Structure 1
Amino acid sequence: MTAMAPARTETDLSFLLDHTGHVLRSRMSAALAEIGLTARMHCVLVHALEEERTQIQLAELGDMDKTTMVVTVDALEKAGYAERRPSSTDRRARIIAVTETGAEVARQSQRIVDGVHRDALGSLPDDEREVLVRALNRLVTGHLAEPAESPQPVRRARERKN
């Protein structure tokens, strides 16, 4: 006798969120690539423009490890969009300062990001869009606000912080 798979009793929320997140990130990457940016570069530019922030603070906001952050800032410097400077409040710390060209690129990339999000949400009827956004906001501020403690690190997709 062959064993049968257990019957699923709930909607596969993990699949739905993972799949939509993956496809949204792939569309975002493709759209930003048209202007030579990555999502991480966009994230750093926008957050660095909001206020003076150190490389460490920007890495935390963008959910990046130290190595990824260094590579991202190197790419922004090479493109002439940002530069590392001493902090005005802590001489030991380095902040990421966005150049005028970088600020213009950030405005352009924010329009692209907003467009990708608008297209995704615009594919839903108005009433469903509002309910989805409200429900997701409730999950990320409530029941799913913090990851569970786990002995095995869980591979985490980059979440939206930009």
Structure 2
Amino acid sequence: MKTLRKALSWIAFFLVAALILGFLMEIVNRGTAAASSVYDEFYPIIEKINRSAPIMAEPGVRLDGASIDRSTGIRYRYTLTELYPEQFDPQTALQNRSKMREQVARDSCNHPDMAPAIRAGVTFVHDYHDAHGERYVTITVDQRTCERAGYM
């Protein structure tokens, strides 16, 4: 449970923000508004992530890789290496997933470097898997997510 809480507060941004901070600032400074242009700019970063993966973003959280699909967005694949679903009853697991969605959306939509990319049409998809490799939760953050939550 402690690892999951820690993941909630750091997972989306500790690694991702560090990898794309400079890149996103360049996009914002150039005023790039077309989502397709923004996606094009991410290819070198995705390649770098995949060459380095797996990367321990923090204890218990491993970034396994990333990809771009213009129809679904920029997808990051994580493993919560200390999360074993048998540790939780179904109701607790459901609550944990809900908290993760809220945290990742809030942090993404309010992050000074990710928000401009989201406004430009970029969709970020975060796939989290448990220690057994089974999908635990998928979190999609796009402009609609931010608008519905009142962040944009």
TMscore range, shorter length? under 0.3
Q: Which has the higher strand share?
A: 2
Over alpha carbons, which structure has the higher Rg?
A: 1
TM-score normalized by the length of structure 1: 0.24
Relative to the length of structure 2, the TM-score reads 0.25
